[in-house]
Amino acid sequence: MAHTGAKPLWGGRFSASPEGELELFGASLPFDQRLWKEDIRGSKAHAQMLGAQGIISEQDVTDILRGLDEIYAQIEAGEIVFDASEDEDIHMAVERRLTELIGEAGGRLHTGRSRNDQVALDFRMACRSFAEELQHAITELQSVLLRRAEEEFGTVMPGYTHLQLAQPILLSQHLLTYFWQLSRDFERSAAAYTAADACPLGSAALAGTTYPLDRNMTAEALGFSSVMPNSLDAVSDRDFACDLVYACMMCQLHLSRICEELVIWSSTEFGFIEMDDSHATGSSIMPQKKNPDFAELVRGKTGRVVGDLVSLATTIKGIPLAYDKDLQEDKEPVFDAIDTLIGSLHAVRGMIDTMAIRHERLEEASRKGYMAATDLADYLVGQGMPFREAHGVVGRIVADCVSEGIELQDLSLDELRSYSAQFDEGALDALDIAKIVERRVSYGGTGNEAVRVQLTEAKQQLTQQLGRME
């Protein structure tokens, strides 16, 4: 795009304009050029509305649409290279090029419009697209989690609290935990879409315009469900951006928790999984190493997305109505948050999809740590002993096992009866890990039947989400 040497599009009032480092400091083109498709689409809808309202001629509309289509093709083909030393932002870049192509008609495109409502429009359209992209990426990861949960049905693993062995659970239930977390993330991204789905175009700088605009026409043409009813709010609102970045942050936090477990599970000490070679790296000095680098990166990048929300909220917190230049700083946190999260979702999907489950280690670990203690106490309760007394009896049994270096399953019935005469043959069943899992029959629990119900509900949830995206 050639430099014309002309004043900025707002330069009539000014005898001088920012130059050099100050000009570049004030430019948003290096990052808002990402909105070029939205800018052209919004400009086409605005031009068509102006023509329909008789504000500009049909010939002007024809020329403007032709010019915008040509610019679209040139940008897509890489024939236009944006330069912040020539244009402050994407809106000025497109309008300048349009005027070069079609002459005076290009200058009429901005009738009844300000960059304030123009940028709000472009940003809302982009955030809607980001929310849709996020929903697709979330459901792709959910699909993998659901498939692996079905494949691993019946596989028992240790459950933890405080990262200490607690009770045995089904691996399927553990994987489904991630599924339901992501379902909430799907709902947050859907809500972020709804928040952005109101059209600000036609609000002009802040007070509306004297031209007889048809705001409903442009809103409908651009697929918005409503028109923003207050022009001051329309140009200054960035709640929708905060909603999207908050949705990104929560999803990234969930991915970080997943990756923390993948890192732990793939360690030699745990050995529950092995990361596929395609999702791990080696060491430049230690030939034996297989590092879960991508899981660590997802975990590490979480700080960026948390920071994006803090950055955006801090930018907005003290801005008086209506538009202020501070709002130029609203886009980079959104772009960074969505890019980071989409990349993280793809990485985690690949790791879950390809990781190898080491069933022998899971089985071995499930028989350690005295995880049958609760069921043994429950057994005594079933025999008529008050729970607190039963808790104390089993606590003494565990303490003695720890001192002798044995597990609960190593005890004979006679040894159990030495602690309480209320133990009988059924006590041995209370120590059986597979039966312990099966006995968790409550809705949402880890028992086989309860997890079967949950798998069915997860399939229904995923089907519903996919239907909403069609």
Residue positions annotated with a catalytic role: 162, 283
Name the DSSP class of 83.
-
Read out DSSP for 406-444?
Answer: --GGG--HHHHHTT-TT--THHHHHT-HHHHHHT--STT
Separation between Cα atoms, residue 254 and residue 258, nearest integer Å: 6
Helix, strand, coil proportions of the chain in percent (round to 5)?
65, 5, 30
How distant, in Å, are the alpha carbons of 50, 58, 219, 432 from that of 211? 9, 17, 17, 79
Q: Would you state the structure tokens that stand for residue 309, as one six-digit string?
A: 């929300």
By the 8 A CB rule, do 141 and 349 touch?
yes
Containing H/E element for 236?
helix 231-236
Looking up tokens 């006995």, which residue turns up? 439
How distant, in Å, are the alpha carbons of 133, 244, 273, 352 from that of 140? 11, 19, 21, 11
By the 8 A CB rule, do 169 and 157 touch?
yes
Q: Phi, psi at residue 168, to the nearest 5°?
A: -70, 145
Separation between Cα atoms, residue 178 and residue 333, nearest integer Å: 26
- Three-state secondary structure call for residue 170: strand
Separation between Cα atoms, residue 462 and residue 470, nearest integer Å: 13
